A and B are shown apart, each in its own frame.
Chain A
Amino acid sequence: ILNVEQSPQSLHVQEGDSTNFTCSFPSSNFYALHWYRWETAKSPEALFVMTLNGDEKKKGRISATLNTKEGYSYLYIKGSQPEDSATYLCAPAPRSGNTPLVFGKGTRLSVIA
């Protein structure tokens, strides 16, 4: 099973602050990297899927970068808002044929107004 680490486990920021968190995965066994946003009492929703080293994706104030050689991805939120409060999950897809995603435990973000 792929070892996926997300840090920090939880984070509290003030409204308007920018923040970032990390997803680490084995660089030797990588095919794609997914980010999901999971609000309380809802289901996870896909944010980004990245496959190439150096990939950078953006959706509004949220962006993500990917380094497949060293095995990490960063998720950035610029000017955090209370509605950004959620758990952010990363999920690498291993390079082993038809193998499903492995989800990290997530980073729980709370934005304080």
Chain B
Amino acid sequence: DADVTQTPRNRITKTGKRIMLECSQTKGHDRMYWYRQDPGLGLRLIYYSFDVKDINKGEISDGYSVSRQAQAKFSLSLESAIPNQTALYFCATSGSRDRINQPQHFGDGTRLSIL
């Protein structure tokens, strides 16, 4: 079983719909992250969390929200999806709070298409 699991893996939806992407991990990591990847733009950070109920905005948080109600789960919501949110979304986790030199572990990604 994957250590970092994202659901769904693929989603096609319409403009204006509310969408939730789920991420769960079995690594026992405190830190979790949501990124989006667009061609030519690399990985951009949307939100991150260093502990349960800790929420921090990343580089491109507008139009997104997150929830961290449990250590193992970090969900990303698009309240009203728009076409320019079409992208590949990755969840990642990393080691404990004070060890910023721990590598990140990525899920397999969610490909989201908004029509």
Contacts and interface: CB of A to CB of B under 8 A. Distances in A.
Interface of A: 1, 31-32, 34, 36, 42-46, 49, 51, 89, 93, 98-106
Nearest to A103: B43
Chain A binding surface, main DSSP class? loop
Contact of B33 (A42, A46, A100, A104): A100
Interface of B: 31, 33, 35, 40-45, 48, 50, 58-59, 90, 97, 100-109
A44 B43 contact: yes
B59 to A, nearest CB: 6
Secondary structure dominating the interface of B: loop
B104 A43 contact: no
A43 B101 contact: no
Contacts of B44: 103
Nearest to B101: A32
